[in-house]
């Protein structure tokens, strides 16, 4: 659920949507015009049926050729994952079974191609829209884009596209297909806005890959956008300011200048270690979803990848990737980051991210249902295929494997047994891999945190996922806008479970990372160090600031701070304690909060 709303302030209007891709741009709006395609039911004379079928085939072939042309034109401007999204787009246009049904309807019912095609693909769209999987709902926009392209070609119509922008502009459209976003590579598009779409949509993934700031899902507020109007797009916060006042414009320009200046100052220590004043070392790692983010992480001084969300390959490919496809992606990331470490999390599908291949049964509460390690253990061939791909990539660098959402030791033991089986299979086949590859688990469920001592003796490392740990500890759906004030990662109960997990790792002499949003929160940096986290894994953009805080903190003081925090009775008390601590260490300087 997005937190779409409208705020009026004098002559300007603020719209809140979904943060699709980071960055702030100020510019003029170009609203893509979409001519409405009216589909009428027509009966085709018997003698014209074959020519009608040929007309449909020609329209499909033309659509495929158009996307192929886009791929050629942007070759070298996008990474392999972005190209994979376009390839999945081509596969969707070339849906053989759907085309057979369309041709069957034309022959059997003598219906015109537009009506037959639109009727069938609209059923596919309705099915996806009715899904309780956010991932499947996001694919609706791709299918609608395909429908529009094929129908336009059937009618001989030309719709406006991003390449029609002649001056630097911010693009707005009700929805954008993968092909349309890909066309923005190297174009005059400064940023993009859509009425539909979410954080896991192909629009968001491609915009992020292309470094184009984006705000998505503004829904009914889209009607407020007018061609040629001036606006500010803040992709960091998911905010759009329409017709900003001179004061607001200056404020944002100052904010951009200040951010750039402070970012440059922070990057002075890019190659310096995250070392406290009294010499305690903390490893700073990045969370990534795309290959293109590796270079961005290295540019800000990341010492490795603490969390690669492998399920995003499914989002980019549109289907579960093959072992070879996975191997190529893992290898590319590992080679780019070598010799620094890369931790690959196995597919965390389920919840709001699901795969068609599993024929998932209906679940009233998917976040508490069949997801993550539960799917992997229920479908061992998928799990083995992924483990094989990761292990084969270990020859290119320093790789660790991490299992999400374990609940107890029995799951860990079964996953470990499968892991050992795959290692043995690769050895027998003579396929090289690193036999010392580390195997760890995410602690993000209260039962796992309470069993951390037992689990620790069976794995090589822990990574604490504070997002889900907060959700499951407080029984708060983090995607539910009505409950957003109850989602509190600084809640004393969450902190106690985090501290317990770190202590269990210490006793087992294994490293422990924190990789949830808390790891990138300046307020939490000293607290997590004080607990004893050996590394923090956060969005790469937050790493310079987190390092700056660590280098101003005394480790012994951080430990004392964490002890105090565990005695607090409420979230507000914890936050006040941490805010006061940061204010003190940044006395006389600009505080990061």
**Are the beta carbons of 572 and 488 closer than 8 angstroms?**
no
pLDDT for position 82: 61
Task: Count the alpha carbons within 13 Å of 434 in the hemisphere toward its beta carbon.
Answer: 16
SS3 content of the chain, % helix, strand, coil (to 5): 50, 15, 30
Strand, helix or coil at 329?
Answer: helix
Quote the pLDDT of residue 133: 56
Q: Give the separation between CA 552 and CA 525, rounded to whole angstroms.
A: 11
State the Rg of the chain over Cα: 25
| Closest to 147 in 3D by CA, of 164, 135, 159, 136 | 159
pLDDT computed for residue 88 by the predictor: 66
What is the domain partition of the chain in residue ranges? 13-33+162-261, 48-155, 276-555
pLDDT, residue 1, reads 42
13-33+162-261: CATH topology: Glucose Oxidase; domain 1 (3.50.30)
DSSP string computed for 348-403: --BTTB--GGG-PPP-S-GGGSS-THHHHHHSHHHHHHHHHHHHHHGGGSEEEEEE
Structure tokens at 484: 């957003």
Q: Which residues of the chain have pLDDT under 70?
A: 1-10, 35, 73-91, 131-138, 200, 315-319, 349-371, 478-484, 587-593
Task: Kindly state the tokens that stand for 204.
Answer: 């968001």
CATH node for 276-555? 3.20.20.60
Active site residues: 202, 515
The DSSP result for 428-458, as a single string, is HTT----TT-EEEEEE-SHHHHHTHHHHHTT
Predicted local distance difference test score (pLDDT) of residue 209: 74
User: Could you give the CA distance from residue 498 to residue 519 in angstroms, rounded to a whole number?
Assistant: 12
**CATH H superfamily, domain 48-155:** PtsI, HPr-binding domain (1.10.274.10)
Which residue is associated with the tokens 């679940």? 363
Return the closest-CA partner of residue 242 out of 472, 11, 481: 11
Average pLDDT, the chain: 86
Kindly provide the b/e burial profile for residues 494-522, where b requires at least 16 CB atoms within 10 angstroms of the residue's own CB: bbebbbbbbbbbeebebbbbbbbbbbbbb
> Distance between CA atoms of 46 and 167, rounded to whole angstroms?
50
Q: What are phi and psi of 168, to 5 degrees?
A: -50, 120
CA distance 252 to 256: 6
pLDDT tens digits for 1-47? 444 555 555 578 999 998 888 888 999 999 988 767 888 999 999 99
3-state secondary structure of 502: helix
Find how far residue 269's CA is from the centre of its chain: 28
Q: What is the dihedral of CA 415, 421, 424, 428, to 10 degrees?
A: -140
pLDDT in tens, 155-196: 888 777 777 788 999 999 988 877 788 778 778 999 999 998
Please tell me the predicted confidence (pLDDT) of residue 184.
85
User: Among 338, 414, 335, which Cα is nearest to 373's?
Assistant: 414
pLDDT at position 385? 95
């Amino acid at each position: 659920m997005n937190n779409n709303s409208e705020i009026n302030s004098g002559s300007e209007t603020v719209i809140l949507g979904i943060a699709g891709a980071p960055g702030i741009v100020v510019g003029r709006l170009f609203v893509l015009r979409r001519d409405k395609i009216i589909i009428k039911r027509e009966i085709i004379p018997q003698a014209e049926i074959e020519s009608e079928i040929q007309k449909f085939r020609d329209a499909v072939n033309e659509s495929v050729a158009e996307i192929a042309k886009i791929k050629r034109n942007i070759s070298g401007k996008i990474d392999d994952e972005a190209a994979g999204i376009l390839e999945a787009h081509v596969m969707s246009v070339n849906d053989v079974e759907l085309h057979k049904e369309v041709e069957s309807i034309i022959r059997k019912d003598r219906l015109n191609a537009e009506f037959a095609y639109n009727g069938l693909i609209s059923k596919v769209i309705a099915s996806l829209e009715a899904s309780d999987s956010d991932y499947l709902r996001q694919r609706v926009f791709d299918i609608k884009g395909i429908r529009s392209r094929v129908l336009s070609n059937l009618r001989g119509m030309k719709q406006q596209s991003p390449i029609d922008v002649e001056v630097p502009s911010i693009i707005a459209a009700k929805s954008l297909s993968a092909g349309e976003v890909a066309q923005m590579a190297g174009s005059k598009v400064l940023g993009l806005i859509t009425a539909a779409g979410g954080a896991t949509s192909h629009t968001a993934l491609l915009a992020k890959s292309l470094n184009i700031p984006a705000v998505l899902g503004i829904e009914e507020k889209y009607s407020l956008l007018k061609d040629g109007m001036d606006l500010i797009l803040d992709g960091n916060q998911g905010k759009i300011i329409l017709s900003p006042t001179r004061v607001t414009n200056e404020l944002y320009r100052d904010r951009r200048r200040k951010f750039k200046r402070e970012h440059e100052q922070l990057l002075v220590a890019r190659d310096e270690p995250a070392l406290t004043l009294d010499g305690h070392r903390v490893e700073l790692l990045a969370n990534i979803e795309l290959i293109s983010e590796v270079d961005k992480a290295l540019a800000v001084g990341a010492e490795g990848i603490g969390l690669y969300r492998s399920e995003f390959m499914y989002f980019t490919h549109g289907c579960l990737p093959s072992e070879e496809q996975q191997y190529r992606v893992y290898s590319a990331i590992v080679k780019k980051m070598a010799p620094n470490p890369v931790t690959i999390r196995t597919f965390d599908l389920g919840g709001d991210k699901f795969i068609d291949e599993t024929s998932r049964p209906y679940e009233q509460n998917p976040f508490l249902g069949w997801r993550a390690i539960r799917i992997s253990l229920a479908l061992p061939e998928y799990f083995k295929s992924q483990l094989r791909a990761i292990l084969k990539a270990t020859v290119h660098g320093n790789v660790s494997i991490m299992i999400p959402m374990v609940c107890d030791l029995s799951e860990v033991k079964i996953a470990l047994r499968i892991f050992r089986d795959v290692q043995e299979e690769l050895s027998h086949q003579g396929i090289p891999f690193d036999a010392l590859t580390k195997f760890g688990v995410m602690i993000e469920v209260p039962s796992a945190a309470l069993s951390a001592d037992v689990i620790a003796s069976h794995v090589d490392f822990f990574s604490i996922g504070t997002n889900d740990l907060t959700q499951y500890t407080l029984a708060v759906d983090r995607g539910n806008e009505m409950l957003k004030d109850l989602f509190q990662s600084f809640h004393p109960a969450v902190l106690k479970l985090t501290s317990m997990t770190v202590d269990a790792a210490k006793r087992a002499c294994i490293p422990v990372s924190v990789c949830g949003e808390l790891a990138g929160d300046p307020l939490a940096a000293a607290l997590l160090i004080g607990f004893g986290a050996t590394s923090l894994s956060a969005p790469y953009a937050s790493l310079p600031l987190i390092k700056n805080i660590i280098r101003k903190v005394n480790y012994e003081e951080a430990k004392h701070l964490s002890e105090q925090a565990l005695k607090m009775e409420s979230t507000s008390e914890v936050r006040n304690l941490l805010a006061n601590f940061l204010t003190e260490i940044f006395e006389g300087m600009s505080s990061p909060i």
